[in-house]
Structure 1
Amino acid sequence: MPFVSIRDLRIAFDEVTVLHGIDLDIDPGEAVGLVGESGCGKSVTWLGALGLLPRKARVAGSVTLQGMELIGAPRERMESVRGARIAMIFQDPASSLNPVHRIGRQICESLRLHRGLRGQAARAEAIRLLDMVGIPSANTRIDLYPHEFSGGQCQRIMIAMALAGQPDLLIADEPTTALDATIQAQILDLLADLRCQTGMAMVFISHDLGAVSAVCDRAAVMYAGRIVESGEIGALFRTPRHPYTRGLFDAIPDMQTPRGPLVPIHGTVPDPAHLPAGCAFAPRCGRASDLCREFGPDLKPIPQGGQVACFHPIPLPQRQKAFA
């Protein structure tokens, strides 16, 4: 049984639908990546699942946590889930940490809410969590303010706060976007190590395909509020079948060959209020036909494993066809 199961999740703001029926399962202990351009619905999927969207958002569908429905659940049930069962690391630690409170107080607040720890017991556990995420001299720096830490250290503090409730699932929403390459690598290693130590599942939301491949077992590619392809990391990265997924890989500069022109995906992500008829990617796709411009493909399993939503998926190389 999946730990979290999302079925036909749809989200709209002011009558504009931004999420068009997401289906996704997260098994206990696995790491799943969500990939796609800005505005494709990666973060909104989980904000909607956890009831963190503003009141004007209309959320429909089903999100179950080990069989317990979360969509439309009473406030008390959601408060028992958020932080304790499912924790989320937000994209910008500078705006997530309260600048007028010491970091120790902020971590201890999570420990009090989710685990009932107070006083010296909470302080000792906060120091242990800071040590776990690699904050040096945690026993003295616990009384500092957020501005006294670097960006990478603030991200580590956010991870420590997320771990305070001992969650079964950690949602990491682009946790390395604002960091330089060296610190990004350290945060990715930290997340992988913590997953091994705690056995928690993880959803890693990112634009960075390399980061996703480093920490995830499986990935789902999103475009214009839909999942267009999903599968195991190895197969998805080796032979992407959807033209959009292929375009994401082609746009990555090749550092092993002489410098050449970049290969962009021409066009832009469509406005959710004015989506084209048929497949939303058709106006940018070199394989699109009249069928694509008239009808939207469903996400369906493919014989080689995984799922793809495309009427004209990219063919497998001949050698792989022989073993399919």
Structure 2
Amino acid sequence: MEPSLVEIRGLSVAFDGVPVLRGIDLDIRRGEAIGLVGESGCGKSVTWLAALGLLPGKAAISGSVRLDGSEILGAPRSVLESVRGGRIAMIFQDPSSSLNPVLRIGRQITEALAIHRGLVGEAAKSEALRLMDLVGIPDARRRFDLYPHEFSGGQCQRLMIAMALAGEPDLLVADEPTTALDATIQAQILDLLITLRAETGMATIFISHDLGAVSQVCERACVMYAGRIVEQGSIDALFSNPYHPYTLGLFDAIPELDGPRDRLIPIPGTVPDPRHLPEGCAFSPRCSRAEADCRVRRPDLKAVAGDRSLACHHPVDAPQRTDEMRLEPAS
């Protein structure tokens, strides 16, 4: 098997002694798309901010993050600056806070091209216009010198993707890239990510709470809860027959678009405060299948079948789901 592009082992993060990420293990192969799903506060974004050295200095980070076999966790700033954007690029959920409001869009894209590919002058402008065309910005040449506020929210997200592509990265981390966009624009951004991955061959990490979007973009998914991965596997296997009660709860909370209206089935409670995690399984206070051992013994993530991994003492023994869960993105 081809070596992984990125290997994460035992990645943990604590703020002021409080653990918020607890031993993440993850392999990303070249060209594949992986979804990270779970409720807010589960550690999806922190995983990649830690891997790229983007957390504040008070964060205590341990573990290993290897890119093509070379350790980048805790690497010197000069190394990380070549990795960020050049090898691993990240786009964030709020382009309005990521784009500089006082710099023209053309300058922001050409700066990325100068840093990562050494392009300047007309060569940089030509490539910037190509990237703007590639991500679907209409009339790119005329709009090259406009400011971010002169673009719509969806277009600003496209511009963020263009800047991420400027360094020709091997891995694109998309952190909730469709948040706050209407359903039509969401679908366009998802189609764009799928197309770009097919054309460039880059791997993709898609961070989202939207299971429908993940099913469209990704081949494999990791379900996170309270700073840990609790289940992972291929999209088809995971979505047709979830094993972890938390994964099943996420699916059960999705509204049915066809058939009679019915009440949603929410997961009771909330994600626990990391300062006061339960002694055993972090999900046990919310889990209808929890037994005495769940409250005193934390389950480890173990391989269970094929590419499936699971961290649960009493997994769901559910029949295969019959609703062909290639979901439409949530509106």
TM-score (norm 1): 0.97
User: What's the CA shift for 1:193?
Assistant: 0.1
1:183-210 CA-to-partner distances (Å, cap 9, x unmatched) read 0000000000000000000000000000
Q: Which residue of 2 aligns with 1:285?
A: 287
Q: Which residue of 2 aligns with 1:308?
A: 310
- Name which of 140, 143, 147 aligns with 1:141: 143
Where do 1:91-170 residues align within 5 Å?
91-170=93-172
Q: Structure 2: give runs of 5+ residues left out of the alignment.
A: 323-331
User: What's the CA shift for 1:303?
Assistant: 2.5
Indicate the SS of the match to 1:310: coil
Q: Which residue of 2 aligns with 1:275?
A: 277
Q: Which amino acid aligns with 1:10?
A: S
Q: Which residue of 1 aligns with 2:207?
A: 205
Indicate the SS of the match to 2:260: coil
Residues in 1 aligned to 2:29 and 2:295: alpha-carbon distance in whole angstroms: 35
Q: Does 1:218 align with 2:217?
A: no
Cα RMSD after superposing both structures: 1.2
User: What's the CA shift for 1:72?
Assistant: 1.4
User: What's the CA shift for 1:284?
Assistant: 0.2
Q: Is the 8 Å Cα contact of residues 241 and 321 (structure 2) preserved in structure 1?
A: no
User: How many positions carry a matched residue from both structures?
Assistant: 320
User: What's the CA shift for 1:294?
Assistant: 0.4
Where do 1:1-324 residues align within 5 Å?
1-303=3-305, 305-317=307-319
Q: Which runs of 4+ in 1 moved over 2 A?
A: 316-320
User: What's the CA shift for 1:305?
Assistant: 3.8
User: What's the CA shift for 1:316?
Assistant: 4.2
Q: Using a 3 Å threshold, how does the CA distance of structure 1 residues 319 and 286 change in structure 2: closer, same or farther?
A: closer
Indicate the SS of the match to 1:162: helix
1:252-295 CA-to-partner distances (Å, cap 9, x unmatched) read 00111111111000001000000011000000000000000000
Residues in 2 aligned to 1:281 and 1:304: alpha-carbon distance in whole angstroms: 25
Residues in 1 aligned to 2:321 and 2:158: alpha-carbon distance in whole angstroms: 45
User: What's the CA shift for 1:8?
Assistant: 0.3
User: What's the CA shift for 1:319?
Assistant: 11
Residues in 2 aligned to 1:219 and 1:307: alpha-carbon distance in whole angstroms: 11
User: What's the CA shift for 1:304?
Assistant: 5.1
Q: Structure 1: give runs of 5+ residues left out of the alignment.
A: none
